[in-house]
Amino acid sequence: MRKRLFWLGCLAFTAAVCVTAQDITGGGSLTRDITGGAALIFRAPQNPSVNSGGATGGGRVKQTKKPTVRQQDSIIARANAARSAPKPRYEEAEQQYQLAAQIAPNDARAFAGLGNVYVDQGKFAQAVDAYQRAIKVKPDYNGAYLPLAFSLARLNRYPEAIDLYKETLKRDPNSPDVYNNLSFAYNHNNQFQEAVEASQQAIKLLGETGEAYKLGFQERNEVRSYAYKNLGNAYNGLKRYDEAATALKKSSEIEPKNASAHFNLGLTLYNAGRYSEAIESYKEVIKLRPNLAQAYFNLALTYVAIHDKPAAMAQYETLKGLDADLAKQLYDAIKH
């Protein structure tokens, strides 16, 4: 009988590693991203432009305190400068954008700027409110759509994020970033076939040479690795483990130091009954993350699956010094 393996769910801005633990039943399916190398791409939104009210709805700025256009632009510029300072002054930026919104409540730039300040600080609920107000004021304010969708995903509001990403694709149908993030949201919403198709489209747009990819904050290979990881997770959701393994191997080849892809691959190979390969994947995770307790746990249970209890106990001895509670669970699993 297969034992219980750990998987690690993480949403992050960058490739930084974060760890939260949950169980899944061995032989079950992955429904979420695993540790580190976040599969949800984030590009910090640009400051609103200072262009004499060009982002207003209704053609003119509805002025409650009758500032001049130059004064309104000056407030936006001060807010932008505070946000973009080497050491961002978020409180000042927020105050200036709020002032701009107060004196010109149909200037979408003020609300988009507020959203940017909130998303920079991880205040996603406030960011959603601000971006939604920007879009209400000016429905074609494109700069609000992507960070709004990202913020919704960070709040686990995946159906809304999906709708926003699909709307964004109407404006930019050749963005691999959007398809990648759409795949991520589909995976979290258990729409695995749709996730497969979105990941495949992201990979297609990235191409083998990267000519179709508009380079941004992240390297092309990093984004390609994300797309293959999302594809692998989607195939896992469909219990198509061999296809999942192929995609996750590709992800790990593109970014060999990304522990996430190796961890996902190990669990996928375990689910497929390919235990010797799973063992090698978990060993690779441990090389990259020698203090990751869950990797030792899963490696030990994979040894149990091939009836090698001495090797499993060796992992237990290491695990005792990393996570006593998890080590106890492992000991009980080995002895039973």
Q: 44-155 — its CATH code? A: 1.25.40.10
Tell me if domain 4-41+191-335 and domain 44-155 are identical in fold. Answer: yes
pLDDT at 56: 52
Q: What is the pLDDT of residue 62?
A: 45
Total-model pTM: 0.80
Nearest to 9 by CA among 45, 38, 50: 38
Domain at 4-41+191-335: CATH architecture: Alpha Horseshoe (1.25)
What are the extents of the domains in the chain? 4-41+191-335, 44-155
- Going by C-alpha positions, the residue among 273, 261, 211, 272 that lies closest to residue 231 is 261
Using DSSP's 3-state secondary structure scheme, residue 67 falls into: coil
- Beta pairing class for 21-25 and 4-8: antiparallel
pLDDT averaged per 10 residues, the chain (length 336): 46 27 33 52 88 48 53 92 96 96 92 97 97 95 93 95 94 89 94 96 78 53 87 92 94 88 90 94 94 91 93 95 91 87
pLDDT of residue 109: 95
Structure tokens at 233: 């997770």
